[in-house]
Amino acid sequence: MPPTFMISKHIFCEKKKNKTKQKNMMKPGEITTPSVTKPAGPAGEHLVRPSEPTPSHILPLSSIDTHPSFRFYADTLHVFMHGREPAKVIRRAISKALVFYYPLAGRLVHSGDDDLRIACTGDGVYFVEAQAKCKLEDVNFLQRPLMLPIDDLLPYLPHPQEPALPLFMIQVTEFKCGGFAVGTRYNHMITDGVGLGQILQAVGEIARGLTRPTIDPIWQRDCIPILPKSPQPHSQVSSPPFTRPNFNLEDTILDIPQDHIDLLINQVTKETGAKCTTFDVLAAKLWQSRTRAINFDPQVPVIFSFTANIRPLLHVLKQGGYYGNCVYVSYVTVSSEWVARARMSELVRLIQDKKENLRVEFMKWAKGELEQNPFEVTRTYAMMHVTDWRNVGFSDVDFGWGPEMHSGVGTMIDSVVIGFLTRPPASSRGARVTARFVRKEHLAAFHDEMMSFQF
């Protein structure tokens, strides 16, 4: 009998059932409609500037930073159990951290022919202080599906005007229990996931009393190879690049226990005699489960892509501190029939081969020898993308009251089939996948495939 691959059972319930279950969590006599208040004006929202004078000059962006696929505002949400006036503490720490990360307080400017740069103006980052009329436990500690609108937890300018938008925005929402949530929105051209983790860690260190971050930030965008760029309209600077198609994807949360991950790893190792990682087996499992659930025509090419951190490939960045976009997108393409019938070890080997070939492929891209631009996102339902956020540094962020409960992406889009692999909530071991992988009609089959697997 094949082993059963168990996942948290509640996560695949219909949305209406989830909402009913969540309402039942509310305590009698307390609130019935959780809400968040964002005071207007200086009392609740304003620009936070560097606490000391900073250089005033123009800084370049890299060829990765300015690629159209990064020309949008990304967001994250981080949940903490305890805090004492966290908004006040974090606001002061941001001001001090901006002395070291002063480009974040600048603004995006054009320098002709769509040459985008950062003007270090010291104008500041946008900060919002909000209050929730509930306790964290009343809203299931902001686990998904959220019981509060995500827009209530993220910082949005009331009257945004391009191109003078702040590059970095942050909101601290305080809950009645003393817990708090930190929501970020940032122009993806200025940083990636690893960079954001580094920035938030720096703010946390200063909030805890350090006079400077333990990691010195490095700009050095010229370390990324300069490649010919396709002209893009100025209007695309901060608007999402993926506007079509709309796949009508369903939210999916998978909490995968460590013992089940170990089961997969051990089985692959037993078959091949080679080591493999958590990412290898989860990526293979997700890819095959999705392919089987959708049941593509046998010869349809299905694509698995993943984002790789290329800092280790650039000698000049090995000392750490670089917070620009430093990623590369790798693709594996085979027929639907092959993926559906393959053994787990065969899928893992495909993914490992791509990882092992990353250095060679990146160097070819750096020399302009690749026909296909790895950053041109394929917009097809037959493609899925996974980004691994387990080691970007979010779990090390501490503003003075301990590390986060959990964190992850704030908003998801319907035009790219994507999932984020993160660490599970602090009390658990294993991995969490937050994704939009399938349409509603494929969700039950995807669930069934993820719940059991025959080696």
Per-residue pLDDT tens for 418-436? 999 999 887 789 999 999 9
Provide the 10 A C-beta neighbour count for residue 171: 27
Consecutive H or E run containing 406: strand 406-409
Q: Which two tokens stand for residue 199?
A: 């920035």
DSSP assigned state of 64: T
Selecting among 123, 251, 396, 398, the annotated active-site residue is 398
Q: What's residue 239's pLDDT?
A: 38
d(CA 221, CA 241): 22
Tell whether domain 243-451 is in CATH 3.30.559.10.
Answer: yes
Query: pLDDT digits over 84-124, tens only?
Result: 999 999 999 999 999 999 999 999 998 776 689 999 999 99
Q: How many CB atoms lie within 10 A of CB 189?
A: 24
**Tokens 């695309």 identify what position?**
236
Fold of 32-236: Chloramphenicol Acetyltransferase (3.30.559)
- d(C-alpha 420, C-alpha 434), whole Å: 5
**Torsion angles phi and psi, residue 396, rounded to 5:** -95, 0
CA–centroid distance for 372 within its chain: 25
Residue 393: helix, strand or coil by DSSP? coil
The residues with which 109 forms a beta bridge, in sequence order, are 117
What is the Rg, in whole angstroms, of the alpha carbon atoms belonging to the chain?
Answer: 22
Integer CA distances (angstroms), 432 to 148, 282, 334, in order: 21, 10, 26
> Which residues on adjacent β-strands are paired with residue 180?
80, 174
The pTM of this model reads: 0.88
User: Catalytic: which of 188, 260, 442, 447?
Assistant: 188
Q: Residue 394: helix, strand or coil by DSSP?
A: helix
398 is catalytic: yes
Whole-number pLDDT of residue 28: 36
Distance CA 196, CA 203 (A): 11
First to last CA, the chain: 10
Q: Determine contact, residues 141/127, Cβ cutoff 8 Å.
A: no
Closest CA to 394 of 408, 378, 373, 414: 408
Which is it for strands 125-132 and 168-174: parallel, antiparallel or unpaired?
parallel
Contact 138, 88 (CB under 8 A): no
Annotation marks residue 46 as catalytic: no
What's the token pair of residue 176?
């009645």
Q: How far does CA 384 lie from the centroid of its chain?
A: 15
Q: Is 266 helix (H, G, I), strand (E, B) or coil?
A: helix
Q: If you search the block for the tokens 């964290």, which residue do you land on?
A: 136
Range list for CATH 3.30.559.10 in the chain: 32-236, 243-451
In contact, 410 and 77? CB cutoff 8 Å = yes
Q: Could you tell me the CA-to-CA distances from 123 to 146, 168, 454 in Å, in that order?
A: 33, 11, 58
Q: Extract the residue ranges of the chain whose pLDDT is less than 70.
A: 1-33, 41-44, 113-114, 161-163, 227-244, 453-455
Residues 6+ apart with CB under 8 A from 67: 229, 375
Determine the pLDDT at residue 405.
Answer: 95
Cα 198 from Cα 319, distance rounded (Å): 13
SS (H, E, C) 268-306: HHHHHCCCCCHHHHHHHHHHHHHHHHHCCCCCCEEEEEE
Is the Cβ–Cβ distance between 99 and 54 less than 8 Å?
A: yes
* Dist. CA 206–CA 400, nearest whole Å: 9
pLDDT digits (tens, 9 = 90+) for 155-205: 998 877 666 899 999 999 999 999 999 999 999 999 999 999 999 999 999
Q: Do the Cβ atoms of 110 and 130 come closer than 8 Å?
A: no
Burial class of residue 387, CB neighbours in 10 A (0-12, 13-18, 19+) = buried
pLDDT digits (tens, 9 = 90+) for 219-242: 999 999 876 554 444 333 333 444
Place of tokens 């970020």: 184
